[in-house]
């Protein structure tokens, strides 16, 4: 409320004074201001505020409206005392108003000072609020910055985690890629290293000394490659080093190939040197024989001359006796004839060379045997087709496969008991013993009339499949498998023929049969006929094909010399004569690059000891025939590593006149 409002309210309270003043003022008015025809002038007054002392609200209400006559009378004019009193009252009222105004001014000043204080306080408060607001805003900005930093750090941590996860995934992918690449190189390196090791083991001490530098390089290269493989397997490489590891592995393989070529070249030179030395020794021996023959001839000529001289002397001394001289002359002629016949009788007889066995592909007898084996195999396959194709017998077939695969895969020469237990599991199944299936039920081989032939085919195929897994990389593993095969062959003769059929299907060279390429036949089709495999429309690589052929030859040779279980009959049902027959026929068929040399070398390394002990000089003659006659024929078609290794092995066998026994051969009565 302002000061003017306060004054106005105070004026409303002094109604009586106001009326008096109005009466005095009406004396000077020239016209009428009040009346019935005039609208009264009313001041809005709050009843609560207009309560006067000593007067009731009813009396106050009668003051309004005031009616003034149109014509004033003399009685209505106040007297002088009244006027003086009114003046005094007016002065007092003025003084009262002045004091009130002064108080009001003071109040206004106080109010202004209060307002200024209030404004100052408000300003101070506003300043304080501004400062607090700034501080709060600053704190909020700090909090916002902190939250922003936290969000940025969290986002950065998330990005770092994503980058780390991406890097780990990249590392894993690169590690996997490096493992695959190094594994391929490792298989290649291992195969090549195994071949070089075999070559070095097959050499004698003098020949090994020639390759001493290569042997050291081979050891260093093997250590480097092994360290490289261990680092890659452990994952100790950086991202950039994974690809380098593959390149290093490839370089190691190339270095090993170069080392092998250099070693083969050096061994070939050494072999040529040995051949030259042998030729020189043979020439010296021949010259010595010719010299001895010449000396013998000279001696005989000298004896003849001496005899003729003695005869002439006798003729001169006994000229007078003609009869005696004639007799002496006849005796001299007889002696002369005898001396002329003697060197002719000492000349050795010439043995004519043997005629060609048959065509250059297969001997008729072996072809006949091959056809008989395949006919039996095909008859068995055709017979079991109903069992193979019947969908309701799928679980039964699975049980048969399980009963054969589990013990067959566990065959090894760990101990006689281990080998006997696995054989008993197989044979008990063929004997009709029940076998549990996966669902808990049991089945026997007698549950179906075709099950026996089906299981014979399945077991023979499983034995042959071991050649490309266990036997090709571990030659010693062939002998326990061969012992079980021979034992089954004795107990189930059809099994042996089926086993041979699977061998011939994988390698017709074991007949030996070099299947000729037919007219119009593509190279891929011809390679399939001689045992190459086609996987995903891609033909098998030559090195993998040779590896399989090596395993097949090892198992075939191991079956020939490995005895079966002693309690089941004779030791061999497919004996050493089969090895002799194969080797004699193999050197008379058309040689093939790499394959012929590989098979002959594997058979000689496995059967050579037994064949030399059994056939003696005849086997040595066969080796000489291979070296002198067959190897030149093979050299016209083959210049690879297997041919060179075969030459070195033959030279070593003929030079030392002994062949080491195959490693891993089971002793007689092993189980």
Is pLDDT above 70 for 163?
Answer: yes
Query: Whole-angstrom Cα distance, residue 517 to residue 510?
Result: 18
Residue 207: closest CA among 274, 262, 260? 274
> How far is the C-alpha of 595 from the C-alpha of 552, rounded, in Å?
12
Q: Quick one: pLDDT at residue 69?
A: 46
Query: What average pLDDT score do residues 178-199 get?
Result: 78
Higher-pLDDT residue of 133, 350 = 133
The helix or strand, by DSSP H or E, that contains position 534, with its residue range, turns out to be: strand 534-535
Per-residue pLDDT band for 584 (boundaries 50, 70, 90) equals very high
Please give the structure tokens belonging to residue 115. Answer: 């307002």
Other C-beta atoms closer than 10 Å to the C-beta of 299 total 10
User: Residue 212 to residues 203, 219, 345, 649: CA-CA distances in angstroms?
Assistant: 12, 11, 52, 18
For the entire predicted model, the pTM comes to 0.51
Q: Return the SS3 of 361.
A: coil
Neighbours of 150 (CB within 10 A): 10
Beta-bridged to residue 442, according to DSSP, are: 436
Q: How many Cα atoms are found within 13 Å in the side-chain-facing hemisphere of 504?
A: 24
Residue 512, Cβ neighbours under 10 Å: how many?
A: 25
What is the sign of the dihedral through the CA atoms of 535, 541, 547 and 548? Answer: positive
> Which are the contacts of 195, defined by CB distance < 8 A and separation ≥ 6?
260, 641, 645
Question: Is the pLDDT assigned to residue 61 strictly greater than 80?
Answer: no
Q: What is the pLDDT of residue 621?
A: 92
**Burial state string for 270-297 with b = 16 or more CB within 10 A and e = fewer than 16:** bbeebeeeeeeeeeeeeeeeeeeeeeee
Work out the number of other CB atoms within 10 angstroms of the CB of residue 545. 19
Each residue of 450-460: pLDDT tens digit? 999 999 999 99
**For residue 50, is pLDDT > 60?**
no
Position 231 pLDDT exceeds 50: yes
Dump pLDDT digits (tens) for 267-303.
Answer: 777 777 776 777 787 778 778 878 888 888 788 777 7
**Structural domains for the chain:** 3-152 (no CATH), 455-656 (1.25.40.510)
DSSP for 453-516, written as a single string: HHHHHHHHHHHHHGGGTTTTT-GGGHHHHHHHHHHHHHH-HHHHHHHHHHHHHH-GGGTT--PP
pLDDT mean over 86-92 = 80
**pLDDT above 90: residue 404:** yes
The angle that helices 641-656 and 239-317 make with each other, rounded to 10 degrees, is: 40
> Does the pLDDT value for residue 190 go beyond 50?
yes
pLDDT > 60? residue 72: no
The residues with which 436 forms a beta bridge, in sequence order, are 442
Residue 67 clears pLDDT 70, i.e. is over it: no
479-488: buried (b, 16+ CB within 10 Å) or exposed (e) per residue? bbbbbbbbbb
Q: What is the mean pLDDT of the chain?
A: 78
Quick one: pLDDT at residue 346? 30
Q: How far apart, in whole angstroms, are the C-alpha atoms of residue 129 and residue 29?
A: 63
Whole-angstrom Cα distance, residue 578 to residue 573? 10
- Separation CA 562–CA 482 (nearest Å): 6
Task: Write out pLDDT tens, residues 475-533.
Answer: 899 999 999 999 999 998 899 999 999 999 999 999 999 988 888 888 888 888 888 88
User: Of all residues in the chain, what percent carry a pLDDT higher than 90?
Assistant: 25
Q: How confident is the model at residue 262 (pLDDT cuts 50, 70, 90)?
A: confident
For residues 477 and 471, the answer to whether their CB atoms sit within 8 Å is yes
């Amino acid at each position: 409320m302002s000061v003017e409002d306060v004054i106005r309210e105070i004026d409303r309270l002094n109604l009586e004074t106001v009326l008096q003043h109005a009466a005095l003022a009406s004396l000077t008015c020239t016209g009428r201001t009040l009346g019935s025809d005039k609208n009264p002038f009313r001041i809005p007054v709050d009843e609560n505020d207009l309560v006067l002392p000593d007067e009731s609200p009813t009396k106050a209400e009668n003051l309004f409206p005031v009616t003034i006559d149109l014509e004033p009378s003399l009685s209505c004019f106040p007297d002088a005392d009244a006027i003086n009193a009114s003046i005094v009252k007016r002065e007092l009222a003025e003084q009262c108003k002045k004091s009130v105004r002064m108080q009001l001014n003071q109040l206004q000043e106080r109010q202004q000072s209060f307002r200024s204080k209030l404004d100052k306080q408000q300003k101070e408060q506003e300043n304080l609020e501004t400062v607090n607001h700034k501080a709060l805003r600053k704190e909020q900005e700090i909090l916002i910055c902190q939250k922003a930093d936290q969000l940025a750090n969290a986002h950065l941590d998330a990005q770092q985690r994503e980058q780390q996860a991406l890097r780990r995934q990249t590392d894993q992918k690169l590690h996997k890629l490096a493992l695959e690449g190094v594994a391929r190189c490792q298989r290649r390196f291992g195969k090549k290293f195994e071949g070089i090791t075999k070559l070095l083991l097959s050499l004698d001490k003098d020949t090994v000394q020639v390759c001493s530098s290569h042997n050291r390089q081979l050891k260093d290269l093997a250590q480097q490659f092994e360290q490289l493989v261990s680092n890659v397997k452990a994952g100790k490489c950086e991202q950039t080093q994974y690809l380098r590891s593959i390149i290093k592995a490839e370089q190691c393989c190339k270095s090993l190939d170069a080392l092998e070529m250099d070693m083969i070249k050096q061994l070939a030179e050494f072999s040529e040197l040995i051949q030259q030395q042998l030729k020189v020794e043979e020439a010296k021996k021949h010259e010595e024989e010719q010299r001895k023959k010449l000396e013998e001839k000279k001696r005989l000529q000298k004896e003849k001359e001496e005899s003729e001289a003695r005869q002439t002397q006798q003729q001169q001394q006994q000229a007078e006796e003609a009869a005696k001289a004639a007799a002496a002359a006849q005796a001299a002629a007889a002696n002369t004839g005898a001396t002329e016949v003697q060197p002719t009788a000492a000349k050795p007889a010439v043995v004519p060379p043997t005629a060609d066995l048959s065509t250059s592909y297969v001997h008729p007898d072996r072809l006949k045997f091959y056809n008989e084996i395949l006919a039996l195999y095909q008859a068995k396959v055709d017979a079991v087709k109903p069992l193979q194709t019947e969908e309701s017998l799928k679980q039964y077939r699975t049980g048969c496969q399980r009963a054969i695969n589990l013990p067959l895969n566990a065959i090894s020469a760990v101990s006689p008991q281990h080998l006997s237990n696995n054989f008993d599991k197989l044979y008990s199944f063929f004997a009709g013993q029940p076998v549990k299936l996966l669902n808990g039920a049991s089945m026997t081989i007698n549950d179906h009339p075709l099950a026996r032939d089906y299981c014979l085919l399945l077991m023979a195929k499983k034995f042959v499949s071991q050649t490309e897994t266990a036997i090709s990389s571990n030659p010693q593993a062939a002998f326990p498998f061969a012992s079980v095969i021979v034992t089954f062959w004795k107990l189930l003769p059809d099994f042996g023929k089926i086993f041979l059929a699977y061998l011939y299907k994988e390698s017709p060279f074991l007949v030996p049969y070099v299947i000729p390429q037919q007219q119009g036949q593509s190279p891929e089709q011809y390679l399939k006929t001689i045992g190459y495999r086609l996987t995903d429309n891609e033909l098998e690589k030559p090195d993998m094909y040779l590896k399989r052929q090596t395993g097949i030859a090892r198992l075939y040779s191991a079956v020939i010399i490995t005895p079966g279980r002693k309690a089941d009959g004779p030791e061999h049902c497919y004996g050493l004569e089969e090895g002799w027959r194969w080797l004699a026929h193999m050197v008379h068929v058309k040689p093939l690059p790499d394959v012929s040399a590989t098979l002959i070398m594997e058979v000689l390394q496995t059967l050579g000891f037994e064949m030399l002990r059994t056939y003696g000089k005849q086997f040595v003659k066969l080796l000489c025939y291979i070296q002198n006659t067959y190897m030149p024929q093979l050299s016209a078609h083959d210049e690879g590593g297997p041919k060179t290794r075969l030459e070195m092995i033959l030279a070593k066998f003929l030079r030392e006149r002994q062949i080491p026994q195959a490693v891993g051969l089971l002793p007689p009565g092993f189980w």
